[in-house]
Amino acid sequence: MNDVQAMERLGEARGQGLAAIETASSLEELRAAEVAALGRRSPVAEVQRSLGTIDLADRPRIGREVNRVFEDLRAAVAARRVALEAEAEADVALTDRIDVTLPGRRPPPGGLHPLTSTMRAVVDAFISLGYRVSEGPELETEWYNFDALNFPPDHPARLTQDTLYPDVPGDLLLRTHTSPVQIRTMEAQEPPIYVVIPGRCFRRDTPDATHLPVFQQVEILAVDEGLSLADMKGTLEAWARAMFGPDQRVRIYPDYFPFVEPGAGLDVSCFLCGGRGCRVCGNGWIELLGAGMVHPALFENTGIDPERYSGFAAGLGIERVAMLLHGVPDIRMFYEGDVRFLSQLARSA
Ligand code: DAH
């Protein structure tokens, strides 16, 4: 072998050896690559054995090159071994930590917020009676929220519904009830009108167990020929039965709201004790909503003929219904976002 051949063989031996070592994907493969590149039958070992046939003048140079190739290949083996051992260790650690035979962790299923499910139940009950959903803006004008509903400008009834006046142009306020949508609906369509109106309302109230400055109502409005107080009572009774059970009874008593005449409050028989009287209801009745026959002033304000048409309206608080349904003692619990509370009342969608 001459020196040129020897250098060529050594170059190949290093290239092939390094490639095999660096691509070894397991410790076994690395051992095989090591034997092939550095073992007794490796190309470098062969060159080393034939050093004696090389010219004396070239021999030291070739000898040094043989040593260098050996060293490079050994260093590559050592480096690859460290890497593969680290990988193997990481694999072991992972399988130690993860018991792959355990069932997967189930993400908790989402559920409807109790106020959402209550709102839907109330609205659905009216939809099944033939009512349509009507909605209006949360930012209202003084006219729709008060004047058109027959609240005179300085009437004390306005004081019971103090609200928040945003700092924007126009006489805008955050609506204190869903009743302004009665006006908007009567302006927009001719009787017969049968609508159910869900929505968020606002009042300047300090939060306590039964008050929040933001809450939700459902309003209903029926305007048709020949509607009477009996229709109102029958409708609300049908709704109460759909909501609370088939044995529900309702009773009405006089109450005052500027936009109804006569105005009424409505009680439902207690769905906890069946009307016998218990800790929640006291005397067997639960006060639930305000209602009444639409005041003729509203018909005048919206261009509906009060000689031809009559109507009834009602409004109720969703939080109150949800508190009664679920026995929740404090309205604030619905808005605190405590999953331990909410998950007990969550309904699937
Ligand atoms: N808007 C009234 C309130 O928030 C509730 C109400 C009472 C609505 C009587 C009505 C009604 O439609 O007839 O206090």
What are the tens digits of pLDDT across the range 14-37? 999 999 999 999 999 999 999 999
Domain membership flag for residue 106: no
Find the range with the poorest average confidence among 118-122, 183-187, 326-330: 326-330
Range of the domain at 291: 114-345
Q: For the CA atoms of 78, 84, 86, 91, what is the dihedral angle to 10 degrees?
A: -170
Q: How far is the CA of 236 from the centre of ligand 1 (A)?
A: 14
Residue 221 bridge partners (DSSP): 195, 313
Domain membership flag for residue 47: yes
Domain membership flag for residue 37: yes
**pLDDT band per the 50, 70, 90 thresholds, residue 274:** confident
Q: Is the CB of 290 under 6 A from ligand 1?
A: yes
pTM (2 decimals)? 0.71
Choose one of 53, 70, 97: the last residue of a domain.
97
Q: Is the CB of 179 under 6 A from ligand 1?
A: yes
Contact 215, 201 (CB under 8 A): yes
Nearest CA to ligand 1 atom 5: 315
Q: Is the CB of 311 under 6 A from ligand 1?
A: no
Q: Is the CB of 291 under 6 A from ligand 1?
A: yes
Nearest CA to ligand 1 atom 2: 315
DSSP 39: S
Beta strands in the chain (DSSP E): 132-133, 139-141, 172-174, 193-202, 214-224, 250-254, 260-269, 285-294, 310-317
Instruction: Verify that 201 and 84 share a domain, yes or no.
Output: no
Residue 85 has pLDDT above 70, yes or no: yes
Instruction: Verify that 200 and 129 share a domain, yes or no.
Output: yes
Q: Is the CB of 314 under 6 A from ligand 1?
A: yes
Residue 229 has pLDDT above 70, yes or no: yes
Domain membership flag for residue 104: no
Instruction: Verify that 155 and 124 share a domain, yes or no.
Output: yes
Instruction: Verify that 75 and 125 share a domain, yes or no.
Output: no
- The tally of domains found in the chain comes to 2
Q: Is the CB of 196 under 6 A from ligand 1?
A: no
Choose one of 41, 71, 97: the last residue of a domain.
97
Nearest CA to ligand 1 atom 12: 314
Q: Is the CB of 80 under 6 A from ligand 1?
A: no
Instruction: Verify that 189 and 338 share a domain, yes or no.
Output: yes
Instruction: Verify that 86 and 145 share a domain, yes or no.
Output: no
Domain membership flag for residue 224: yes
Instruction: Verify that 133 and 216 share a domain, yes or no.
Output: yes
Report the alpha-carbon distance of residue 201 to residue 214 in Å, rounded: 6
**pLDDT band per the 50, 70, 90 thresholds, residue 349:** low
Contact 267, 288 (CB under 8 A): yes
Q: Give residue 145's Cα distance to chain centre.
A: 31
Instruction: Verify that 160 and 293 share a domain, yes or no.
Output: yes
Instruction: Verify that 118 and 93 share a domain, yes or no.
Output: no
Instruction: Verify that 197 and 153 share a domain, yes or no.
Output: yes
Residue 91 has pLDDT above 80, yes or no: no
Q: Is the CB of 324 under 6 A from ligand 1?
A: no
